[in-house]
Structure 1
Amino acid sequence: MIVTGLAGWVVSRYLAAFQLGYINHVWDPFFGFAEGTKQVLNSNMSHMWPISDGGLGAISYTFEFLMGYMGSPARWRTMPWMVAFFGILVIPLGLTHIVLVMSQPMIVHHWCLMCLLAAGIMLPMIPLEVDEVVAMGQHMAEAKRRRDRGGSLWKIFWLGGSAEGCTKDERSPELVTLPQQPWSVFKASIWGMTFPWTLIASAFSGIALMFCPSFFGINIQAPAADVGHVGGALIVTVAVVCMGEVVRLGRYLNVPLGIAVAVLPWLQSGSVQSYSVTCTVIGLAVALLAIPCGVKLERYGLWDRFVR
């Protein structure tokens, strides 16, 4: 979380520097600066905020980076308020990034490579954080049941609860041991996030779908192109977020998304048969890939019944 927060801050700060006039060029070897990135960063949508949207992203990533350091690994019990605020900062912001990415071809009709990178950095932060929020919620409910701090959720939220019923974490390596055992520390940092081949295939299918309109020569302003751009972005979002085991159930959202992608190109103007057939094949494949649950390695107490 700390590393991804820093990476997101670097990218957002770079975009903000252009929007605020400190630099006059943004690197974009894929879509081009004048043809893509400049159009997005100077669009009316980018200027609808009181401040630069890149600057707003940099501020958000700054808080995420700093909040990643606060508290111990047991802060879900000792600092529930911190986990709640961190979850609010990470999860809604991650989804907001995806909305902004989808708006590029729909509203601005251009792409921005660095904007896509910022969204790509934010997306995995959601499954990495959501299990801590689930742990915090379960602890507060259990502490209230035990009448910790008089059974007041308000006090438990701000002051934490007792460790009664908890077991000491013996398997997680300390962060300070990163130089000596980097692989062990890295693996521990992504516990709770697994990578079933079905979700990986769905994510790559969504990415392919986003590029299909350009590959088949569909005008970016045509409604048929929006099916590939928006549908692909949503499929990728669902697939990556649901790599978090506690939200694995959300993969079923890709079933209606896949069916919509399979059907809508045939009903939209500006489509061609080869594009519609490709969307149908990808959409039906994504819907089928959403059915298996995939591997589950961790235990989540009362939440286990929702991991299926």
Structure 2
Amino acid sequence: MPLLLGEPEALGYGEMQRQIGQIIHGEPWETWYVPKALARTGAWIEEEVLDEDSFIKPWMVDIADDHYALDITRARTVLDWKPKRSLRETLPKMIEALKADPVGWYRVNKLNVSTVAGREEATGGSGMHDAHGKKAMQEHMARMAKMRLHMLWVHLLVIALGVWLLTSPFQLALFNPEIAGNVARDVTQERGLWAPELRNAITGWNEIACGLLLILFGSLALKPKFNWAQWGTTVVGLWLLFAPLFFWTPSAAAYANDTIIGALAIAFSVLVPMMPGMSHEGMMDESEIPPGWTYSPSSWLQRLPIIALGLFGFFIARYLAAYQLGHIGHVWEPFFSGGGTKNGTEFIITSDVSRAWPIADAGLGATSYMIEVLMGAMGSSKRWRTMPWMVTFFFILVVPLGGVSIFFIIIQPIMIGTYCTLCLIAAFAMLVMIPLTVDEVVAMGQYMLRSHRAGRPLIRTFLQGGPDAGGKPDDRASLDEPLRKQAEAAVWGVTLPWTLIASSVLGAWLMFSRLVFGAEGAVADSDHLVGAMIITVAVIAMAEVARPLRFLNVLLGLWLIATPWMLSGATAGAAWNDVICGLLVIALSLPRGTRSNERYGSWDRYVF
């Protein structure tokens, strides 16, 4: 005789979801309803196309609104049985247990812990108020005082840099009116600048003023109560990086001198010594790997490729800036021709687009690269939580400004009519830096969110950093590992799915397809621009935390399909080429592609 055992009151999926939302968020949780066909299609795409191990399966959609009320009359009569608990009464207790310990709750219920790791409220620093915490703080402060004594040499070196800079104008003959060369005079006439002799003199007086300031700030920084003076040295160093560009310095030696002294001043003020203003609780916390992550995105092995690419870009941009400033009379260009007697590179960096900038735009790029190098070298493998402000500005330098720089290089043949080999190489270096950078920004953003949920002051945490409960030391990324393992660690979080590689190849083909199919006008320019954008999106999406960005290429693929009928200048071959490339780009952008075994805490849900 069959017996039905269960709860006679059926709590529907909709009602249960509303109750869960109310308990978790403390307010009504809005639910969006979609047609079953759309929900079934979405579940299929998530599982079959995006390769996600989703809980919701297509067949579940069909039974989502079924009603499972049980008649337990026979069990009551025969066994005198009735349920001791109900889901409606027990649900609040279940959710409270989830909120109290998300990681433990997920682990006990055999769910993916990485989806909630790092979302629990941080409790770091609370132990500072007991006796053990006070003793630990005292020991930490004693170590900091001892470290400061050992680092006094950096401030003495800053003073020495000031003395060097103070005497440089006389050694470089910046006050000698005969020092400016003929090339510098040509630039003066082309740009309508002040006389080279005057610009040299202004550069000299600027070096004297900056030298005095470095001596002043270096002397003040010797005293602990004047540790703010390190920031004064940093400001002077930044100004020295920009000053030769603002003054259009005719002296190549002065330009190199100011760049080197400026970079060293920054390095010996906030890079080599401890940066002033950091949270002591944050420094005492030894955790390097964010909660739920499998590696530290701020480790030295992760940052070394970015620093190397930044230096590579700096040397290229400084070489181009030397031509713009009139320090050299010719720039190497192996492939492309320009107008008149100039090659492609010379034609581009002296074009109207370049002249629109009030300073040498290549020099501005060189300064940006140098700042990226310095910021890339700042901090420890914990800087995603000890220096959130620095990670943010580093991201701004590398990603948005890098994207703008890449875009301007992309449009060179459209607006100017030729290419610049060195510009293309520098743009590629900048593009590769972006996927290597975004994981650190994600870790920093997760930390800021956890700190906000824990009730820490948002601005102070952003500027000073802090501890983070749930993190752990990093025993994977070591410079003592074999070279092969170091190379692998340098690109953790970045994979090369064949779909994204193929998208990049299609983008490159589009950039040069006009030469094959004879496209002209708007269609040819569109193919070049869209091809470069496809490459950019595909390369950035190689970072697993940025993998969803590949869907932007779906929009670009749709544009390619519509291009032959919307723009002029397409031949029959070019039209078919755009349609086929558009369809291929769309197809290649749907699958997620290869994913590594690395995990990114609560961000794992966005790696689809």
* TM-score normalized by the length of structure 2: 0.48
Which consecutive unaligned segments of at least 5 residues does structure 2 have? 1-305
Is 1:264 the equivalent of 2:563?
Answer: yes
Q: 2:467 aligns with which of 162, 168, 174?
A: 162
Which consecutive unaligned segments of at least 5 residues does structure 1 have? none
Q: 2:484 aligns with which of 157, 177, 183?
A: 183
After the TM superposition, which parts of structure 1 deviate over 6 Å for at least 4 consecutive aligned residues?
A: none
Cα drift, residue 135 of structure 1: 0.3
Q: 1:26 aligns with which of 315, 326, 331?
A: 331
Question: Who is 2:175 aligned against?
Answer: none
Q: Does the CA contact (< 8 Å) of 2:406 and 2:430 recur in 1?
A: no
Q: Does the CA contact (< 8 Å) of 1:98 and 1:233 recur in 2?
A: no
Alignment of 1:281-296 (within 5 A): 281-296=580-595
Question: Who is 2:357 aligned against?
Answer: 49
SS at match of 1:162: coil
Cα drift, residue 261 of structure 1: 1.6
Q: Does the CA contact (< 8 Å) of 1:242 and 1:251 recur in 2?
A: yes
Moved more, 109-118 or 258-267: 258-267
Is 1:134 the equivalent of 2:435?
Answer: no
Cα drift, residue 296 of structure 1: 2.0
Is 1:224 the equivalent of 2:523?
Answer: yes
Deviation digits for residues 119-147 of structure 1 (CA, Å, limit 9, x no counterpart)? 11100111111110110011111123234
Question: Who is 1:60 aligned against?
Answer: 368
Work out the percentage of aligned pairs sharing the same amino acid. 48
Q: 1:241 aligns with which of 524, 536, 540?
A: 540
SS at match of 1:46: helix
Write the distance in 1 (CA, Å) between the matches of 2:562 and 2:350: 34
Moved more, 197-206 or 266-275: 266-275
SS at match of 2:359: coil
Moved more, 95-104 or 246-255: 95-104
User: Which letter does structure 2 place at the counterpart of 1:29?
Assistant: P
Q: 2:601 aligns with which of 298, 301, 304?
A: 301
Cα drift, residue 96 of structure 1: 0.8
Write the distance in 2 (CA, Å) between the matches of 1:263 and 1:241: 25
Question: Who is 2:549 aligned against?
Answer: 250
Cα drift, residue 266 of structure 1: 4.0
Question: Who is 2:477 aligned against?
Answer: 172
Q: 2:408 aligns with which of 84, 96, 100?
A: 100
Question: Who is 1:200 aligned against?
Answer: 501
User: Which letter does structure 1 place at the counterpart of 2:457?
Assistant: S
Q: 1:279 aligns with which of 573, 578, 602?
A: 578
Write the distance in 1 (CA, Å) between the matches of 2:467 and 2:446: 13
Cα drift, residue 199 of structure 1: 0.3
Question: Who is 1:85 aligned against?
Answer: 393
Write the distance in 2 (CA, Å) between the matches of 1:253 and 1:215: 27
Write the distance in 1 (CA, Å) between the matches of 2:320 and 2:423: 8
Question: Who is 1:72 aligned against?
Answer: 380
Q: Does the CA contact (< 8 Å) of 1:143 and 1:162 recur in 2?
A: no
* TM-score normalized by the length of structure 1: 0.92
User: Which letter does structure 2 place at the counterpart of 1:274?
Assistant: G
Cα drift, residue 35 of structure 1: 5.1
Cα drift, residue 28 of structure 1: 2.1
User: Which letter does structure 2 place at the counterpart of 1:294?
Assistant: G
User: For the pair shown, which has the larger CA radius of gyration, 1 or 2?
Assistant: 2
Cα drift, residue 24 of structure 1: 2.4
User: Which letter does structure 1 place at the counterpart of 2:590?
Assistant: I
Write the distance in 1 (CA, Å) between the matches of 2:485 and 2:398: 25
Write the distance in 1 (CA, Å) between the matches of 2:523 and 2:331: 30
Write the distance in 1 (CA, Å) between the matches of 2:579 and 2:320: 36
Moved more, 251-260 or 181-190: 181-190
Moved more, 21-30 or 204-213: 21-30
Cα drift, residue 43 of structure 1: 1.1
User: Which letter does structure 1 place at the counterpart of 2:543?
Assistant: G
Query: What is the number of residues matched between the two proteins?
Result: 299
Write the distance in 1 (CA, Å) between the matches of 2:523 and 2:576: 12
Question: Who is 2:453 aligned against?
Answer: 145
Deviation digits for residues 43-64 of structure 1 (CA, Å, limit 9, x no counterpart)? 1111111211110110000001
Write the distance in 2 (CA, Å) between the matches of 1:113 and 1:285: 29
SS at match of 2:380: coil
Cα drift, residue 84 of structure 1: 0.9
Deviation digits for residues 191-216 of structure 1 (CA, Å, limit 9, x no counterpart)? 11111000011011101110111233
Deviation digits for residues 219-252 of structure 1 (CA, Å, limit 9, x no counterpart)? 4xx1121121101011001000111111110100
User: Which letter does structure 1 place at the counterpart of 2:529?
Assistant: V
Q: Does the CA contact (< 8 Å) of 1:255 and 1:290 recur in 2?
A: yes
Moved more, 76-85 or 26-35: 26-35
Q: Does the CA contact (< 8 Å) of 2:337 and 2:418 recur in 1?
A: no
Question: Who is 2:135 aligned against?
Answer: none
